[in-house]
Amino acid sequence: MKKYDYEGGLDLMPGLMKMTKSVALASLLAAWAGGASAELGVNFPQPAAGVAQEIYDVHMLTMKIATILMIIVFAVLIYSLYYHRKSRGYPADQKFHKTWFGNWSWVIVPGLVLGVDLTIAGSAQKTLEKIWVIPKGEKLMDVKVVGHQWWWEFEYLDHGIKIESRYVPKDQSGDKYLRAVDNPLVLPTHTKIRFLHTSADVNHAFWVPALGFKKDAISGYVMETWAELDREGEFTGQCAELCGTWHSRMPLVVASVSPEKFQEWVRQQQQVKLAAAAEASSDKTWSKDDLMEKGQGLYNTKCAACHQITGQGLPPAFPALKGSKVATGPIADHLNIVLNGKQGTAMQPWNALTDLEIAAIVTYERNAWENNAGDVVQPATVKAAR
Q: Which is nearer to ligand HEC, 103 or 301 (CB)?
A: 301
Q: Which is nearer to Cu ion, 239 or 377 (CB)?
A: 239
Name which of residues 327 to 386 contact ligand HEC (CB under 6 A). Answer: 327, 334, 337-338, 342, 345-347, 350, 361, 365
Q: Is-contact 340 351, C-beta < 8 A?
A: yes
CB of 117 to Cu ion, least distance (A): 35
**186 touching ligand HEC, by CB under 6 A:** no
Which residue stretches of the chain are H helix? 13-40, 50-83, 100-132, 170-173, 259-281, 288-302, 304-307, 325-328, 331-340, 355-367, 379-385
Q: Which is nearer to ligand HEC, 248 or 345 (CB)?
A: 345
Q: What is residue 91's DSSP assignment? A: P
Count of CB atoms situated within 10 Å of the CB of 92: 7
Task: Please give the Cα distance from 59 to 46 (Å, whole number).
Answer: 12
Q: Which is nearer to Cu ion, 250 or 376 (CB)?
A: 250
**Which residue, among 167, 194, 195, 197, has the nearest Cα to 179 in the 3D structure?**
167
Name which of residues 283 to 312 contact ligand HEC (CB under 6 A). Answer: 302-303, 305-307
The correct pick among 189, 238, 269, 324 for binding ligand HEC (CB under 6 A) is 324
Q: Which is nearer to ligand HEC, 8 or 329 (CB)?
A: 329
Site string for ligand HEC, 126-165 (x = CB under 6 A): -----------------------x----------------
| Residues 6+ positions from 247 with CB-CB distance below 8 Å | 150, 239, 241
CB of 320 to Cu ion, least distance (A): 25
**213 touching ligand HEC, by CB under 6 A:** no
Question: Roughly what angle, to the nearest 10 degrees, separates helices 13-40 and 50-83?
Answer: 150
Residue 250 interacting entry, from ligand HEC, Cu ion, none, C-beta within 5 to 8 Å by type = Cu ion
Q: What is residue 167's DSSP assignment? A: B
CB of 113 to ligand HEC, least distance (A): 51
CB of 353 to ligand HEC, least distance (A): 7
Count CA within 13 A, CB hemisphere, residue 319. Answer: 12
Q: Which is nearer to Cu ion, 217 or 353 (CB)?
A: 217
Task: Please give the Cα distance from 148 to 167 (Å, whole number).
Answer: 12
Q: Which residues bind ligand HEC (CB under 6 A)?
A: 149, 302-303, 305-307, 318-319, 321, 324-327, 334, 337-338, 342, 345-347, 350, 361, 365
